[in-house]
Structure 1
Amino acid sequence: MTDTTQTTQQPDAADILLSVRGLSKQFSTGSGPVKAVEDISFDVRRGQIVGIVGESGSGKTTAGRCLLRLVEPSSGEAIFDGVDLFSLPEKALRAYRRRLQIIFQDPYSSLNPRMRVRDIIGEAIDTHGLAKGAARQARIEELLTRVGLSPEHARRYPNEFSGGQRQRVGIARALAVEPELIIADEPVSALDVSVQAQVLNLIQELQRELGLTMIFISHDLTVVEYLCDEIVVLYLGRIMEQGPARSVYANPRHPYTRALLATAPVPDPTVRRERVILQGDIPSPLNPPSGCVFRTRCPHAIAACAETVPTRETVGSGHSVACIRQAELVETYQD
């Protein structure tokens, strides 16, 4: 069933850099097919950060990698600046690699330990023929300075840096080819808490200065709230809730979104958050629940939830929810 719910407030088509429609990814395993992502749709406007959030196993990383064709999607469309990325042959796709980049989750494994930083950052510059000689070196030094490192760091190897510094190198590498869209896949989850804040501040500063368009993938709603303009909440490969960040945080309408918010730390000790306890773990995608995939952990599930796959319904400007009980649960949430 294709979800045709509009996810934004009817923006001008020229504002939309990426339009994802019906993205699905199914893996074949010895135990049977696994639906990692199923029929997700959303738009990314120019200069905007869209957050994709969910627990481990929700499909968010798979979705991001499908958009870059690092993993081949099973179906759907990803219209990037008027061109469907999923339909491009490999040769034509290469030209788009410059326009779409990724910041990986693990700064330790994503950098080649045998390469100096100048070569790690310069590799993409060389691949796309953007600069040579002194201009190449100047570009590398400029990028290092922009991400809070020193030009002298260009001579070092990755093992000479801390985790936070390595991730700054990864960010510089992503920026090297001046991309139009960056997918940040849990870029701070492997870092210490104190370092996380520094890297998040850097990403926010770069986004504002350079007018970057980003998809930010995270399991942490607090991080997403800090950075993102729009939020897509995934559970077991399906969208549960979606909309402007302010609307989703001020008025979360899906039980799963409320549960994620309940576990997020609040810096103000005087603020009390709703206590929501999810029973059990996220089900295996090899054997997903019938009907609503969240029903086995939902505190508000009823018999009908096992029989009906909910479609997203609009509950506000650009705000949609996939829950057959969302309307009647509003009063419960307000009590």
Structure 2
Amino acid sequence: MSEPLLQIRGLTKIFETSGGPVHALEDISFDIPRGSITGLVGESGSGKTTLGRSLLRLVEPTRGQTIFDGTDLNTLGAGQMRQMRRRMQIIFQDPMSSLNPRLRIADLIGEGLKAFGICNRRERRDRAAALLEEVGLSGDHLNRFPHEFSGGQRQRIGIARALALEPEFIVADESVSALDVSIQAQVLNLLLDLREKRNLTMLFIAHDLSVVEYLCDQIAVLYLGRLMEIGPSRAVYQKAMHPYTRALNSAIPLPDPRAKRSRELLQGDIPSPLNPPSGCVFRTRCKFADADCADGLPHPVAVAEGHVSYCKKIEVLNDN
């Protein structure tokens, strides 16, 4: 892979609540190579959205570094960060709730351009029409309102709006999870085309590992705010080296209905982030866990080039 556009080092987010501190993210470190798509997967409550928004400082990290093209974003003042956001955008999960229903499509797509004073109204309208064409819609739709479109079309409008400022990096937060399967495939292919055309770098957040494997160059697996495994998509998909990743993999339906695969069912629910388990936070649901897993945090173990697992039982996993 190419050199990293983003370097994430020790990123931590702690929310202070009436019940005590919630460690939403704890010591997250990995790189996102320039021009690549990195998938971020995990169950609900694992911290995926918090991580994506922390990278853009829509959520302020508690500590750690987010180094974007050589600049540590967490050291920037509000004005500097505002300028940096021209290079970083987000596509939200629910396109309807992220689009102002009172604005026409031309104004929605041109919001960022207007905010930064980049061009006049006529130029914004022309650029919005071109962006609609680029994402597979018609420039004739500029005068319509969001409710006049289907869910897939609204997501394309959200993508067009994210592209308006010519960003280098995009966080796609569960951007296809609310769509029908056939529409999902169309949007995924659109994202791949845009990556190639614009040399975009993306963090694609999802709970479906099969979608992420299709789209992404590397996959990061998150559980209870901690990184479990990260590596090239094919390696993580075919040779997972963390029990949690293997459980996620085993839940993916096989395309051949006659094919059989053993399921690795997870026991119980994710523990409360108010009181996470000691040591490895996954140990309470792991069939390989023993007393050693409760003592001290697991260190990253290099499985292969670019493939890292955070598991003390990696020798056992190698034999299974």
With normalisation by structure 1, the TM-score equals 0.93
The CA deviation at 1:192 is 1.9
Q: 2:240 aligns with which of 252, 257, 269?
A: 252
Measured after TM superposition, the shift of residue 270 of structure 1 is 4.2
The equivalent position to 1:316 in structure 2, one of 304, 307, 319, is: 304
Specify every segment of 5 or more residues in structure 2 that has no aligned partner in the other structure, as ranges. none
Q: Does 1:19 pair with 2:2?
A: no
Name the SS for the 2:202 alignment partner.
strand
Aligned counterpart, 2:109: 121
SS in 2 for 1:98: helix
Name the counterpart of 1:7. none
Q: Please say if residues 168 and 199 of structure 2, whose CA atoms lie closer than 8 Å, have aligned partners that are also in contact.
A: no
- 2:152 — aligned with what? 164
Q: Secondary structure at the match of 1:109?
A: helix
**Whole-angstrom CA distance in 2 between matches of 1:271 and 1:87:** 52
Name which of 32, 36, 44 aligns with 1:48. 36
* Per-residue deviation, 1:271: 3.6
Partner residue in 2 for 1:3 = none
Which sits farther off after the overlay, 223-232 or 269-278? 269-278
SS at match of 2:275: coil
SS in 1 for 2:39: strand
Matched, 1:222 2:206: no
* Structure 2 residue matching 1:179: 3-state secondary structure: coil
Structure 2 distance, partners of 1:317, 1:153, is: 47
Question: What letter is aligned with 2:304?
Answer: G
Question: Aligned-pair distance for 1:259?
Answer: 0.3
Q: How does 1:98-247 map to 2 (within 5 A)?
A: 98-247=86-235
Structure 2 distance, partners of 1:138, 1:310, is 53
Alpha-carbon shift at residue 308 of structure 1 (Å): 2.7
Q: Once the two structures are superposed, what CA deviation does each residue of 1:261-303 show, in whole Å capped at 9, x if it has no partner?
A: 1111222334433311101111110111111100111121112
Q: Give 4+ residue runs of structure 1 displaced > 3 Å after superposition.
A: none
Kindly state the Cα deviation for residue 131 of structure 1 after the two structures are TM-superposed: 2.1
Q: Give 3-state SS (helix, strand or coil) of 1:97's partner.
A: helix
TM-score relative to the length of structure 2: 0.97
SS in structure 2 opposite 1:290?
coil
| Displacement of 1:153 | 1.1
Residue 88 (str. 1) matches residue 76 (str. 2) = yes
Give the secondary-structure state (helix, strand or coil) at the position aligned to 2:110: helix
Q: State the one-letter code of the partner of 1:82.
A: G
User: C-alpha distance in 2, partners of 1:112/1:274?
Assistant: 46
Identity of aligned residues (%): 61
Counterpart in the other structure of 1:286: 274
- Structure 1 match to 2:260: 272
Q: Distance in 2 between matches of 1:50 and 1:68?
A: 15
- Give ranges in structure 1 of 5+ residues lacking alignment: 1-10
For 1:37 and 1:207, locate their aligned partners in 2 and report how far apart those are by CA, in whole Å.
28
Distance in 2 separating the partners of 1:284 and 1:170 = 33
